[in-house]
Structure 1
Amino acid sequence: MESFLRASKACLTTLNAYEKIIVVMGNPTCDLDSAVCALVHGFFVYTDRVQGQKNEKIAVIPIMNISKKEFRVKTEVVYYLGGHNLPLNLLTFRDEIDLRKLNAEGKLELILVDHHTLPKEDLSLADSVVEIIDHRPQDVTWSWSGRTINLQTVGSCATLVAKNILEKRRMLLDSQVSNLLRGPILIDTCNFSKEADRATPMDFDVIRQLEELNTLHPSRDQLYQDILNAKTDISQLTPDDLIIKDLKVVNGIPIVGLPILVENFIKMDGAHEALDSFAMKENTPFAILIGLDLKNDVVTRDIAVFSLSSNELENKVIEALMTSTNPKLELTETHRFSKSGRTLIHYKQGNVKASRKQILPIIQSVSRDCTC
């Protein structure tokens, strides 16, 4: 893996020498699943398309889909990759490569992992997409055709990446790569928690095969707890950092994923000011905050809606979340803060099995259909 990353990083200074640049890109949150999938699937593509070939002018570059300066807030990714002896200086970030220029030159082949939609600013890259691997439900507005597509609703995208390698190039799965894949599977399934109910038979089968191929350490429970500790270590992060740590934007609506409960976030010094600043910077009238606490294997979730001023779309989103039956969120309003026109409405989420991945389609549907 390290030799692949060194070769990948070296390509950045000689892009003009290549006829084709294959970029493997995770989603814009750059969470652990996204980061690992970009690296491991990139490694697979490199060994399949480039390594051992003669006179092949192809570069394969996995990229972290965030700027380099943002990477420090991805505490679990920094911890996990560093802990698996991957030099972080060999990673490539979104602001270190000009995808639009490569696309305009006709050199770009783009592989999307852990997402299958493109934000507005990346729409011009759509024609360069050649492959998609994602574990989210199909977004009906993105009916890709003519590409290699692997869309299956499983716990983790790493499950799909691992299954592909298990079937096609099993020899790549040494202890380092197997363990890299094991971490996001454990995190995304909440360590196969029955309460969270996020694992599928494929997740169980793939992690079993990875563990049978190599003697992997530490144990599942210890590895899960170690990653969770790194993910929830916010000691060096400010409220501004936490807002962008796991941020998704759906049809212009920011969805802030927090590694702590929202009720604890808003008690932090400067939290309300950070929300104000974020909303004004992003020019958005409101944002959704989704909190998660996994202490002692007990899942707790909450949601809040923050707005600079009341608006029709916000009201429709709130109504949709409150009345949703697929999934039913079981939201109970607990607090409502108002100050200088700013409002934050906090809800306890009774159905802890409903993750952000399942909540996003609700917001997508409302924001897409609203004529506000």
Structure 2
Amino acid sequence: MEEFLQHTKTRLARSKHLDKVHVVLGKKSSDLDSLIAALAYAYYLEKVSPPNILCLPLLNIPRREFYFHTETRFILEELNIPESLHTFRDEIDLYQLNNEGKLSLTLLSSSALMSEDKSLESAVVRVINTEEQWDDGDPELAESSSFLVAKQLLQEAPELITQQLAHLLRGSILFLAMDPENITGEQKEVLSNLEEKFPELLPRKEIIAVLQEAQFHADELKIEEAMRKDLKEISDGEIKVAVSTVYMNLEVRRNQHEMGF
């Protein structure tokens, strides 16, 4: 995966000589699921696309905000994938590429494009996680993008799945489920297929525990950063409401209360 990202960075620097740039774009939150699904699907596209097309996984946030995503940074550091190899939304001009007729977009989620991105809708060639797939249209009940990408790769190109890629996809699916009891039948099948292919992968409970610890570990973040880390926005088109989640160790909070804080 590091070699693939290095290759995309080098080719992006020479984008003037490319006929097409096929960008895989995740949700605005750029959570663990979005990042890993974008990496995996862009890697797959790179293998099956003509050589004159650059397939680019793009994080839908400015680079400065990547610091907030502790669990995402953790799993990439664990696999020795440097942050410098990723491309962020503020580092590429999608509007210019689209105006030049060079842009193709695969969206991991129906909500990947913001209202200000309306002009980019003409470049969309596929949406992997669409509203039609959500039960009752509720995004909270949607399948994870990592699961949908893993399922497609196992069906169409299982030979392209490396151990590192299997580790990333499996970790994301397990992290989204949070508890082994929440894993659906189809997810179990995908996970089992990945584990049969690479039996040396770590036990599921161990992966979940490690990623949960990384998610809750926000001690190094400032108050503003911690508030923005898990920020969710809800809008009816006119009014926008932001809701933030901050995780806190209950034992620490109890001690603070006893000391009068």
Superposition TM-score, scaled by structure 1 size: 0.61
Q: How does 1:356-367 map to 2 (within 5 A)?
A: none
Residue 247 of structure 2 is aligned with which of 252, 260, 281? 260
Q: Which has the larger radius of gyration?
A: 1
Residue in 2 that maps onto 1:241: 225
Residue in 2 that maps onto 1:346: none
Aligned to 2:180, the other structure's residue is in SS state: coil
Structure 2 CA distance for partners of 1:118 and 1:207, relative to 1, 3 Å: same
1:65–1:94 Cα contact (<8 Å) kept: yes
CA distance in 1, matches of 2:30, 2:195: 25
1:84–1:180 Cα contact (<8 Å) kept: no
Once the two structures are TM-superposed, the CA of residue 115 in structure 1 deviates from its matched residue by 4.1
Once the two structures are TM-superposed, the CA of residue 216 in structure 1 deviates from its matched residue by 3.6
**What letter is aligned with 1:43?**
Y
Once the two structures are TM-superposed, the CA of residue 117 in structure 1 deviates from its matched residue by 5.0
Residue 171 of structure 1 is aligned with which of 138, 156, 159? 159
Q: How does 1:12-23 map to 2 (within 5 A)?
A: 12-23=12-23
Aligned to 1:22, the other structure's residue is in SS state: strand
CA distance in 1, matches of 2:112, 2:61: 16
The yes-or-no answer on 1:129 pairing with 2:117 is no
2:227–2:245 Cα contact (<8 Å) kept: yes
**What letter is aligned with 1:132?**
V
Residue in 2 that maps onto 1:94: 89
Residue 200 of structure 1 is aligned with which of 184, 194, 200? 184
CA distance in 1, matches of 2:90, 2:133: 28
CA distance in 1, matches of 2:142, 2:64: 31
Once the two structures are TM-superposed, the CA of residue 104 in structure 1 deviates from its matched residue by 1.2
CA distance in 2, matches of 1:250, 1:18: 38
**What letter is aligned with 1:47?**
K
Greater strand share, 1 or 2?
1
Residue 172 of structure 2 is aligned with which of 168, 184, 187? 184
What are the superposed Cα offsets for residues 91-121 of structure 1, whole Å, 9 maximum, x if unpaired? 1111110111111111100111144452111
Structure 2 CA distance for partners of 1:32 and 1:15, relative to 1, 3 Å: same
The yes-or-no answer on 1:61 pairing with 2:56 is yes
What are the superposed Cα offsets for residues 26-64 of structure 1, whole Å, 9 maximum, x if unpaired? 1111110010000010000001114xxxxx321111111
**What letter is aligned with 1:111?**
T
Gaps of 5+ in 2: 257-261
Q: How many residues of Structure 1 are paired with residues of Structure 2 in the alignment?
A: 246
Once the two structures are TM-superposed, the CA of residue 71 in structure 1 deviates from its matched residue by 0.5
Aligned to 2:43, the other structure's residue is in SS state: helix
Structure 2 CA distance for partners of 1:210 and 1:34, relative to 1, 3 Å: same
Q: How does 1:1-372 map to 2 (within 5 A)?
A: 1-50=1-50, 56-116=51-111, 118-134=113-129, 155-193=143-181, 197=182, 199-251=183-235, 253-258=240-245, 260=247
Greater helix share, 1 or 2?
2
Aligned to 1:78, the other structure's residue is in SS state: helix
RMSD value, Cα? 2.6
Gaps of 5+ in 1: 51-55, 143-150, 270-372
Structure 2 CA distance for partners of 1:248 and 1:130, relative to 1, 3 Å: farther
- Between the aligned residues of both structures, percent identity stands at 33
CA distance in 2, matches of 1:210, 1:23: 26
Once the two structures are TM-superposed, the CA of residue 80 in structure 1 deviates from its matched residue by 0.6
1:66–1:93 Cα contact (<8 Å) kept: yes
Superposition TM-score, scaled by structure 2 size: 0.86
